[in-house]
Structure formats: structure tokens, C-alpha cells
Amino acid sequence: MLYIVRGLRDGARGVTIRVRVLKKDNVRVVKTKDNTEHRVVDAMVGDVTGTIIMTLWDENIDKVNEADIVDVKNGHVNTFKGRLRLNVGKYGELSKVEEEAFPSVEQIIKKSRFEEHGES
């Protein structure tokens, strides 16, 4: 099943979705429970139905840039710090794709702003 951003819910597993990277934050370094250091970046991603934060870890950070279109396969969704987040996870895949018909960064941002204000 191919998801859309609006259809994502906390706890969803096996998520396959195509989104555009709207913005990538700066890399930060975190320590996990096993005391291992990892690089982490939050990226705002979306489609015409909305936006969501996608957390990128380690090698996935360098796979995508702002404005890229990416497919997430076998991802999962959780709530962290009060916000819904899309994660590739240990068993998921992230790949860059080309699709001319996919909405632009500007189209997604414009649509999501209308949605926030109930003006769709």
C-alpha cells in the first residue's frame, strides 16, 4: 500500500511513501542507549496532502538533499517531542527518485499552508 502524508498515523509500520524533501536541518550528534554516537538530521518532507518530519540517521543523511524526491519503503511512524515523525528505520529503505509530475517544493508548501488555515 502506498501511503500519503495525510494518511500517516502514530504507530504505522511497513510504510511505503513518496515525498519531496522541503528542508534539511543541521546535523547533530546523539548517543543511543548502547552509548554509540550517530549523526541525525530532521528533514521536513511532504506531498500535496501535507508535511511531516522525517528523521535521517547516519548514511541516509547524505543520500538526499533539499528538493529531492524520495521513496521510503518499510518505514515507520511515531510521535517524538509531540510531533509525528516518519522514520526509515533499521529495516527500511530510502532511495532518491525522479518524477517530473511530482509537486514542487513551492506547491507542497503552498498547499500545506492552505490546509493549516482550513482554506483548501
- The per-residue pLDDT string of the chain (120 residues; one tens digit each, 9 = 90 and over) reads 689 999 999 999 999 999 999 999 999 999 999 999 999 999 999 999 999 999 999 999 999 999 999 999 999 999 998 999 999 988 999 999 999 999 999 999 888 765 553 443
Domains observed in the chain: 2-116 (2.40.50.140)
AA letter at 107: Q
Q: What is the spatial distance between Cα 102 and Cα 118, in angstroms, rounded to a whole number?
A: 23
AA letter at 19: V
